[in-house]
Amino acid sequence: MNFTAQKASRKWANGAFGRIGAAMVTVAAAAMLIGMPVEPAWAAKRSRAAPWDDLFRPFQPPRARAAPRRAAVPLPVPLPKPRPAEAPSAEPEKQAGKAKQASPPNGKPGEPAAPAPQPTPQPSACRLALTDAIAIAPSIPDIKGAGGCGGEDLVRLEAIVLPDKRKVSVKPAAILRCPMASALVEWIRNDIAPLAERLGSAVSDLDNFDSFECRGRNRIVGAKLSEHGRANALDVRAFKLANGRSISLTDRTVPRELRERVLHSACTRFSTVLGPGSDWYHEDHIHLDLMERRNNYRICQWDVWDPLPQAAPLLPAGRPEGAPPREVAAKPDDAKPDAKSGAKSDAKPDAKSDAEPDAEKSNAEKPDEAEPQREEKPAKKKRRQNRRS
């Protein structure tokens, strides 16, 4: 064996032993790694790169990298609209509110604040139409009583102004709802005033028998609430004219034609008209109201009676002047003189003696006019006993 072969064999042996030693070192290192915790080592390995990673990085296939997680983007919160430029600033109002809270009412600490005033209700169309040119009817507060009594939009009707500026006083003043007061005003102005002019005068007063009163119908306890309790009715008894004449609507001495005209005009304007003949509660006045019923049903019950005769028909007629005098038959007891009237009989004996034969003759001539004998009725005791048995 030559020197070159020996050198090559030594070199190979050294390389083999070197490789064996390196392998043993690797096995020992692996054994040590197996005994150590794996996770910290891998974590450290991941944290730092090996020095030879850069050498083999071009030959390594690209690794699939997980896409980084994107942070959740919050949804946009809707913002309020910007304050208009022409809007007043709220700072003065806040300052005023703070000043009110800081300062006690009326300058007295410890007292509760007064309640805020309620808003004034707007007048109704009826209230706006019922002006002073046609009626003196000031508004009054609403009435809220028990059982539904009262109402809203109330007025106190004091007088009605006619087209010629004359006033018809309502005595006493009537508390009514505005629609009822308006209907009454139109009735007096357009129907009753022209009717009074035909009589040669003008209406001056209206006799108000009853207006608002919290009660049942016909003043019966427990009855259904009357329209008077709702301020929706008026009882009229009479009209007074400027010449002093009073026209009672239920008086039979008033001409029938006049009362019939009042009846027709009232039934045209009001939904309920009650008078004589409807019931005995309305014999001395006329009831008017604006009660709302189904299908606009109306009630008109007022009998216009004929005037009473001057002489009662049941009384007998008077005796004619040319009729002969009636003869009166003397009773037999009258012929016997009493002891007390002895002096009187002695004073005029001839007159009595003359009267006695005349009386006897009249009795003899009229035997049928004698009083008949009364028949005795049988006793009722037996009948009563029989009934009891």
Q: What 3 state SS string does the chain have?
A: CCHHHHHHHHHHHHHHHHHHHHHHHHHHHHHHHHHCCHHHHHHHHHHCCCCCHHHHCCCCCCCCCCCCCCCCCCCCCCCCCCCCCCCCCCHHHHHHHHHHHHCCHHHCCCCCCCCCCCCCCCCCHHHHHCCCCCEECCEECCEECHHHCEECCEEEEEEEECCCCCEEEEEEEEEEEHHHHHHHHHHHHHHHHHHHHHCCCCEEEEEEEECCCCCEHHHCCCCCECCCCCCCEEEEEEEEECCCCEEECCCCCCCHHHHHHHHHHHHHHCCEEECCCCCHHHCCCEEEECCCCHHHCCEEECCCCCCCCCCCCCCCCCCCCCCCCCCCCCCHHHHCCCCCCHHHHHHCHHHHHHHHHHHHHHHHHCCCCCCCCCCCCCCCHHHHHHHHC
pLDDT for res 319: 79
> Which residues in 110-127 are b (16+ Cβ under 10 Å) and which e?
eeeeeeeeeeeeeeeebb
C-beta atoms surrounding 299 within 10 Å: 16
Distance from the Cα of residue 314 to its chain's centroid:
53
Q: Which of 42-51, 233-242, 275-284, 361-370 has the lowest mean pLDDT?
A: 361-370
Residue of 196, 198, 305 lying closest to 253 (CA atoms)? 305
**Residue 74 is which amino acid?**
P
Residue percentage of the chain with pLDDT more than 90: 42
pLDDT in tens, 332-357: 555 555 544 444 444 444 444 444 44
**Token pair recorded at residue 34:** 């197996």
* Torsion on CA atoms 78, 79, 83, 84, rounded to nearest 10: -40
Higher-pLDDT residue of 334, 33: 33
- Whether the predicted pLDDT of 211 surpasses 80: yes
Q: What is the average per-residue pLDDT within 50-69?
A: 57
- Whether the predicted pLDDT of 290 surpasses 90: yes
- Whether the predicted pLDDT of 61 surpasses 70: no
Residue 171: pLDDT band (50, 70, 90) is: very high
pLDDT for res 306: 87
Higher-pLDDT residue of 276, 333: 276
Place of tokens 């790694």: 33
pLDDT for res 84: 80
- Whether the predicted pLDDT of 313 surpasses 50: yes
Q: Which of 177-181, 192-196, 261-265, 353-357 has the lowest mean pLDDT?
A: 353-357
- pTM value is 0.52
- Whether the predicted pLDDT of 225 surpasses 80: yes
Those residues whose C-beta lies under 8 Å from the C-beta of residue 203, and which sit 6 or more positions away, are 162, 168, 188, 192, 193, 196, 239, 240, 241, 242
**Cα–Cα distance, 196 to 206 (Å, whole number):** 13
**Cα–Cα distance, 176 to 42 (Å, whole number):** 102
**Residue 87 is which amino acid?**
A
pLDDT for res 349: 44
Residue 64: pLDDT band (50, 70, 90) is: low
pLDDT for res 41: 52
pLDDT for res 213: 92
- Could you tell me if 251 and 233 are in contact, meaning their C-beta atoms sit under 8 angstroms apart? no
Those residues whose C-beta lies under 8 Å from the C-beta of residue 45, and which sit 6 or more positions away, are none
Averaged pLDDT of the chain: 76
- For the ranges 51-55, 67-71, 97-101, 298-302, the maximum mean pLDDT occurs at 298-302
Is the Cα torsion angle 92, 93, 98, 101 positive or negative in sign?
positive
Q: What is the average per-residue pLDDT within 309-330?
A: 72
- Could you tell me if 321 and 329 are in contact, meaning their C-beta atoms sit under 8 angstroms apart? no
pLDDT for res 323: 82
Residue 103: pLDDT band (50, 70, 90) is: low
Place of tokens 């009258």: 334
- Whether the predicted pLDDT of 183 surpasses 90: yes
- Whether the predicted pLDDT of 17 surpasses 70: no
pLDDT in tens, 232-273: 999 999 999 999 999 999 999 999 999 999 999 999 999 999
- Whether the predicted pLDDT of 85 surpasses 60: yes
**Token pair recorded at residue 282:** 């309305």
Q: Which of 15-29, 87-101, 127-141, 246-260 has the lowest mean pLDDT?
A: 87-101
pLDDT for res 368: 46
- Whether the predicted pLDDT of 369 surpasses 70: no
Residue percentage of the chain with pLDDT more than 70: 59
- Could you tell me if 249 and 238 are in contact, meaning their C-beta atoms sit under 8 angstroms apart? yes
pLDDT in tens, 323-336: 888 776 555 555 55
CA-based end-to-end distance of the chain: 182
Q: What is the average per-residue pLDDT within 121-133?
A: 91
pLDDT for res 263: 95
Residue of 176, 194, 161, 190 lying closest to 268 (CA atoms)? 190
Is the Cα torsion angle 373, 378, 380, 381 positive or negative in sign?
positive
pLDDT for res 257: 93
